Amino acid sequence: MSTALSPKLEASWKKVLANEFKQPYMHKLKEFLQNEKQLGKTVYPKGSHIFSAFNLTPFDQVKVVILGQDPYHGPGQAHGLSFSVMPEVRVPPSLNNMYKELNSDVAFQHPGHGYLEGWAKQGVLLLNSVLTVRHSEAYSHRGQGWEELTDAAISYLSQLKEGIAFFVLGQCGQVKSKVD
């Protein structure tokens, strides 16, 4: 298949990642996700939120990248930003730990919620290595193609921009930090 996929993606990212959406791995990924749906599997986040990290933080505005593993896998949690949950959802332990570290380092005050869209709009790319996950099955969509796309995004940021701070968390993040 040689046609490019055309997801709803913020213009600067669409330009940077255009060639990636022509690659065979993206067509395989699309087939995998369609198959998950046909099998009745619940996948998070919902389709309109899969690319939220890119859509809320344009390429030219990225100042910081916080890289996670994959979306939270419970109902109502994932909305396309790593470590972020919808406002009405209890703050997950991983984000609470980040808040504690920020408090000890820079006197950050816990906002009482885990909704990080404001960070994304200020230039913090909240990117997961894998952008979708099956309900109650952490890291269930690894190896399906997302890693190639997110590797490409990180590579483009590293090559085309200067002064970006990268925060990689966990083993998955450490592996991803070796991307050129």
- The CA distance from 136 to 12, in Å, is 33
Residue whose structure tokens are 């730990």: 97
Residue whose structure tokens are 């006197």: 107
Other beta carbons less than 10 A from residue 89's beta carbon: 18
- Annotated active-site residue 70? The verdict is yes
- In the set 60, 70, 105, 180, the catalytic residue is 70
Beta strands in the chain (DSSP E): 43-44, 64-68, 124-128, 133-134, 165-168
Specify the long-range contacts of residues 166-172, CB closer than 8 Å, at least 24 apart: 166/64, 166/65, 166/67, 167/64, 167/65, 167/66, 167/67, 168/67, 169/66, 169/67, 169/68, 169/69, 169/94, 170/68, 170/69, 172/67, 172/68, 172/69, 172/70, 172/129, 172/139
Active site residues: 70
